[in-house]
Chain A
């Protein structure tokens, strides 16, 4: 890097950590890749079945969840900016709010899953769905499931920074929180795509 002498060691470390997180997010994007392609395959092979299956998803809960995640992203951004501006206490409160919203998302998702299973919307077994519908729901559970696991980790990280900030050195560093924020926003960005492709197909049919 073209480091001029006056740049602090902490900020260089911060830049390394940020680049490291972006590279990691690149791997996460590729990790979702096959699921997106599988979805594309299914949509191409079974356009009507996909539309019908998508209509079975609960768009109200899905929409609320999307809103929850979008707001949480805004709050996380505020938390990071607050810590960088020296407002540690405000930052921690914002982090706990972010974590709460993340947990709310997971709770609502859980309720949705319960409804889905109740209605027999399963990719296998004694499901009333046809082949295309089963593939849709396999991808639905796979994509939202993998997303949920990532979100759970994010909630954990947000709680760690929210409670540990000011007490544990590593959890009080603005550079570290910024990197954690990147992860949270990525998880949000993935959901931004999952929502329309899973919930909004064939709604006008």
Chain B
């Protein structure tokens, strides 16, 4: 019965975070909205991983596998961004202005 309390407790916490992220989306915080949402999502995913997926008590190799996967995704997103964040794009005269972005 212990595990019911634990799992449903984590579930309740997750629902709370869901409410928080949804509500905060309606509060004008500019760029912080996005950051807050991602941080809350990370917290929720962390709860799912550590408790539901038993990452807390898993063998070192399993935790390493999870860590490496996240790291690899991070590398992919970050290093690709190096290109996009350092480009100077200018629209050609014939391009649709709405299309050229920054």
Q: Is B92 part of the binding interface, using a Cβ–Cβ cutoff of 8 Å?
A: no
A33 to chain B, nearest CB (A): 5
Measured CA separation A182–B101 after assembly (Å): 40
- CB of A200 within 8 A of CB of B37, answer yes
In this complex, how many residues of chain A approach chain B with their Cβ under 8 Å: the count is: 53
Residues of A within 8 A of B8 (CB): 74, 78
Q: Is B91 part of the binding interface, using a Cβ–Cβ cutoff of 8 Å?
A: no
Residues of A within 8 A of B41 (CB): 192-193, 195-196
Interface of A is mostly: helix
Residues of B within 8 A of A130 (CB): 98
Q: Is A176 part of the binding interface, using a Cβ–Cβ cutoff of 8 Å?
A: no
Q: Mark B1-34, 1 if CB is under 8 A from A, else 0.
A: 0011001101100110010011001111100011
17 additional A-B residue pairs with CB within 8 Å, beyond A25-B69, A203-B33: A15-B59, A26-B68, A30-B73, A30-B76, A37-B80, A41-B84, A44-B85, A66-B18, A71-B11, A77-B52, A188-B48, A189-B44, A189-B49, A195-B18, A196-B38, A200-B21, A201-B34
Which residues of A approach B to under 8 Å, CB–CB?
15, 18-19, 22-23, 25-26, 29-30, 33, 36-37, 40-41, 44-46, 49, 59, 63, 66-67, 70-71, 73-78, 81-82, 85, 130-132, 178, 181-182, 185-186, 188-189, 192-193, 195-197, 200-201, 203-205
